[in-house]
Structure 1
Amino acid sequence: MSLKTETTADEPAEAVGSPFGLPAFRWFFTGRLVSLLGSAMTPVALSLAVLNASNSAGDMGAVLTANTIPLIVFTLAGGVVGDRFSRRLVLLLSNLGAALTQAIVAFLLISGNYDLGSLIVLEALNGTVAAFTNPALRGIVPDIVPKPQIQRANSVLGSAKNAAKVLGPTAAATIVATADGGWAISFDAATYFVAAICMARLKVTGNTPPRKASVFVSLREGWTEFRSRTWVWTIVASFGVANYVQVGIWTVLGPLIAKERIGETSWGFVLSVKAVGVLLMAVLMYRITLKRLLPVAQTCAALVGLPLIALGLVANVYWLAASAFIAGLSLGFYSVAWETTLQEQIPKNMISRISSYDNLGSFIAIPAGQLSAAPLASVFGASRVALVGGFLWIVLTLCPLMVPSVRGLRHEV
């Protein structure tokens, strides 16, 4: 396929306004949008399809876990690859790999040839591909968008991601109810193929660093750069502990408390309201400009603890929904602010590796939090654990503001 010359981040942009003025960003956004739509459908579709085919919750858990574990195991390797090779090439190959694995999964489910072992292997491969995709995704934005447009680029990318999260699960459930989960997964495979075509259309020059160092040396260099930036590792460390607290309570104890106090339908309403808050703020971030973007975002992040406190106080559905909406707004703000700050402050040849350490540190404790939530609730009570967890989240997310390099960090307006 011949490649058309595209505008890159190193070339002057006629207007600082919209990143859509750059052909490279338009191709990238299109690829991300279609793949996000498919990916948002997959967890629901895969869960229901495996459950329908096997009638076993154990099979469903095994398949989902097989996809999750490689994301943690290979995330550092993904960072090294994202900095050592062309990120455009990494995204092209990773989208093709994801398309192939999902297409085979869809075939097995649609044809009635369900096999647990095959699905576990395929989903493990899919998770491995994702581990290499994520660092390259964060790293390529500064390659194709000038610095003044990075925040707006992250705003529209975040809006697309959150809109997909709102629409995807409903669409997947509808397809499963009317046809079969395999068809939803086949749609996901098709979106990855489209995304690969879009990545092939990108023209990114000068973003392939020399590959003289070994992989281990590259990892060590990434770690040195990561720990040398106090504002980065401080925030990552705080969220590593905070996510252990919050995710376990919200995903495990939240439904339990809600079922007893407000009902399952009301809990679904609360989750939807939170998702709308995230989406709304991601859209608003296209226009919001702050010199101290990250310090303000870090302060706002503390508000994510409010729904946990509301759960602990056994608030009615309206107070719980209101606190969830505020938390959603805070998450939408923080997500764009964090992406933008990393892409502005971290050298291009290091951003994928630092992103991989960020991902590992922020999320590695989440499974432990999910596993420990129920035992803690059985000892202290679910409401009490949620209440304490909410206050812990607030304290943990505000702690980085004690560090001068976090408080003093400025956004390149």
Structure 2
Amino acid sequence: MRLPRGRAEADRPERTSVVADLREGWHEFVGRRWVWIVVLQFAVLNAAFVGATAVLGPVVADASFGRAAWGLVVAALSVGLAVGAVIALRWHPRHALGIGVALMVVAAVPVLALALRPSVPALIVSFAVAGAAIEVFSIAWDQSLQTNVPRDVLARVYSYDAVGSVVAVPFGEALVGPLAHAVGTTPTLLGCAVLIVVATVVAAVTPSVRRVTVQEAPPA
């Protein structure tokens, strides 16, 4: 696209260094308590959930109902995600983030089902419900960031969010195996469920998280 010379120069962003961009993004990230609280929640939640389902889930399946049925269980999570997207399209609460954060306690249900009742019907239902809750939260999170963080720093805040939310996942995947070998699969799964619940409760009761609203338009 060719723009008039004056307009192209006016719209050209000011050049900054990578270090300066990182520093400014970090300042914007830590300056919003509700943002880093939720990111910390998901650092713990993702590590516990992925470790429990991706690593120990197949172990439980092999010892009970088999890998073929485990494929159906995993597929139920995707179905739940689609249902959650439909719900989020039709339901627009003012404090969507606080509700979405609290809903993530549901992510502990499939982990508990693996630990206490590893039957295919129970797991399919629990994974589907967890998927719906995850998607409702994800949309509320994106809306909250996009309407409460200035556009010019939004991408940098998203970058810290992306790193912080998944940075602990490899540790969760690496630790659950040795823990299950040392103390047993069921106690390890129960511990993962407890971590999910504790992280969610801490984030859900944080006042700055509960107060976030979805605005009409993002700040300039």
Q: Which amino acid aligns with 2:181?
A: S
Which residue number in structure 2 is paired with residue 332 of structure 1? 135
CA distance in 1, matches of 2:212, 2:69: 40
Structure 2 residue corresponding to 1:233, chosen from 36, 44, 66: 36
- Taking structure 1 as the reference length, the TM-score comes to 0.49
CA distance in 2, matches of 1:207, 1:369: 44
Q: Is the 8 A contact 2:60 2:118 kept in 1?
A: no
2:13 maps to 1:209? yes
Q: Is the 8 A contact 1:314 1:383 kept in 2?
A: no
CA shift for structure 1 position 348: 0.5
2:159 maps to 1:350? no
Q: Please, which runs of 5 or more residues in structure 1 have no aligned partner?
A: 4-205
Which residue number in structure 2 is paired with residue 278 of structure 1? 81
CA distance in 2, matches of 1:256, 1:315: 11
Q: Is the 8 A contact 1:294 1:337 kept in 2?
A: yes
Q: Is the 8 A contact 2:44 2:195 kept in 1?
A: no
Which residues of 2 match residues 223-262 of structure 1 at below 5 A? Answer: 223-262=26-65
Q: Is the 8 A contact 2:148 2:215 kept in 1?
A: no
Say which SS state the counterpart of residue 209 (structure 1) adopts.
coil
CA shift for structure 1 position 315: 3.0
Say which SS state the counterpart of residue 291 (structure 1) adopts.
coil
Aligned residues: 209
Which residue number in structure 2 is paired with residue 361 of structure 1? 164
Which residue number in structure 2 is paired with residue 202 of structure 1? none
2:209 maps to 1:376? no
CA distance in 1, matches of 2:71, 2:11: 44
Q: Percent identity over the alignment?
A: 34
- Taking structure 2 as the reference length, the TM-score comes to 0.90
Distance 1:378-1:208 versus aligned 2 partners, 3 A rule: farther
CA deviations over 1:145-190 (Å, ceiling 9, x no partner): xxxxxxxxxxxxxxxxxxxxxxxxxxxxxxxxxxxxxxxxxxxxxx
2:121 maps to 1:311? no
Q: Please, which runs of 5 or more residues in structure 2 have no aligned partner?
A: 3-9
CA distance in 2, matches of 1:236, 1:243: 10
CA shift for structure 1 position 402: 2.4
Which residue number in structure 1 is paired with residue 71 of structure 2? 268
Say which SS state the counterpart of residue 249 (structure 1) adopts.
helix
CA distance in 1, matches of 2:101, 2:83: 19
2:196 maps to 1:393? yes
Q: Is the 8 A contact 1:310 1:387 kept in 2?
A: no
Distance 1:208-1:286 versus aligned 2 partners, 3 A rule: farther
Where in structure 1 do 4 or more consecutive aligned residues deviate above 3 Å? Answer: 206-209
CA deviations over 1:41-92 (Å, ceiling 9, x no partner): xxxxxxxxxxxxxxxxxxxxxxxxxxxxxxxxxxxxxxxxxxxxxxxxxxxx
Which residue number in structure 2 is paired with residue 9 of structure 1? none
Which residue number in structure 2 is paired with residue 406 of structure 1? 209
Say which SS state the counterpart of residue 214 (structure 2) adopts.
coil
Bigger-Rg structure (1/2)? 1
Distance 1:373-1:307 versus aligned 2 partners, 3 A rule: same
CA distance in 1, matches of 2:184, 2:12: 53
Say which SS state the counterpart of residue 349 (structure 1) adopts.
helix
Root mean square deviation of aligned Cα: 1.6
Distance 1:228-1:207 versus aligned 2 partners, 3 A rule: farther
